[in-house]
Structure 1
């Protein structure tokens, strides 16, 4: 397994990334994937998110914002698939790499809101951004720089896909509204103004083929054909 290398990190995404300490990662699957997804965001991990992920993962895969590594660990990768993990948080990278120790895994420490020179020349069949956008600072227009940084690393027939919790206009229940309010106040989320329309617009500035759907309070998106 390759060791992580540093890209010269920036601090603008630090609040959303720093929450993933070793301790928090141990609780992540239970709290986020089992409780929050079902009861707050109303988008089932097992029935919606994991099947959505599995259907789109390619042979050369880039995972951006890896969290606890649940999705790649349950993706049913074949033995010859190559996985690159990109995250600002080394705890998340290490935890995910351990869950994928039988795979061809490369770890990259980097800030997705900044250019990615360490990936120069690399092309991926799939790029996943699961529960990343709602942690990034600013409006969706500003977050769109993520797509600008990633689209040149997509193979000609590749797909960029992901999921993000939408903001105040998403029709949250009481539990969801409470979590959005708390997480935004603490800087873990910055998504109160994130809407389905703003996400679709941001993607459409960078990709010719865009699909965006909403399940509960979560937006599922797929993008192909970089512009």
Structure 2
């Protein structure tokens, strides 16, 4: 079933300038370590292992990772893509030292802007906010692959419900977030994520930390 516009908007509407100012403390500081059981330094290490000097970040949140990561050069090309104006403004101001490109885009729809391709693509904590099954969300990859150079690295993280361990608090909070439309991961499994990646990319790697899947792959 194709996600409705309301469902798509619900997954990102929570991110306002006010909530983004609390995002690092609540999500990256508390939830990651104590609820999802994947401490933020683990995601940051994954980010550092794959980011390049020609990088696109999709679903940018507060901009924490492009702000804290170790780019291989002091003057990287960095682009931010999101459908939420608040996150684009917040994140772009946070990494203003890189003069980031910004693109407002719903990744469930084809990208029509003419954009010079990238060598790395980061998608962190986006898919669990996108409505639909992973097989439906993965159309985002199809829309983003044309923006990537051959051999580019795609990497990221997402919170799953199936095939991963979840403590009592994770189950309760996921249930609440799904009911509110903030999350849409009630059918997200490690198996489906692996299948979606292997259909589209080479050299797929997957690691589970708590109920978070960390993935990377190479563009064909």
For the criterion TM > 0.5, the same-fold answer is: yes
Matched, 1:166 2:160: yes
Name the residue aligned to 1:225. Answer: 219
- Within 2, Cα distance between the matches of 1:211 and 1:36? 24
Q: CA deviation at 1:172?
A: 0.7
Q: CA deviation at 1:169?
A: 4.0
- Within 2, Cα distance between the matches of 1:208 and 1:75? 25
User: Structure 1: which 5+ residue stretches go unaligned?
Assistant: 1-9
Q: CA deviation at 1:33?
A: 0.3
Aligned with 2:79 (options 79, 84, 105): 84
- Within 2, Cα distance between the matches of 1:121 and 1:16? 26
Name the residue aligned to 1:7. Answer: none
Name the residue aligned to 1:24. Answer: 19
Q: Please give the root-mean-square deviation of Cα atoms over the aligned residues, in Å.
A: 1.3
Q: Secondary structure at the match of 1:83?
A: strand
Matches within 5 A, 1:17-166: 17-46=12-41, 48-77=42-71, 78-118=73-113, 120-166=114-160
Deviations 1:168-215, CA, capped at 9 Å, x for gaps: 442210110111000000000000111111000011111122111111
Name the residue aligned to 1:6. Answer: none
Aligned length: 215
The TM-score, its normalising length taken from structure 2, stands at 0.94
Q: CA deviation at 1:151?
A: 1.3
The TM-score, its normalising length taken from structure 1, stands at 0.91
Matches within 5 A, 1:202-217: 202-217=196-211
Moved more, 83-92 or 168-177: 168-177
Q: Secondary structure at the match of 1:205?
A: helix
User: Structure 2: which 5+ residue stretches go unaligned?
Assistant: none
- Within 1, Cα distance between the matches of 2:7 and 2:136? 12
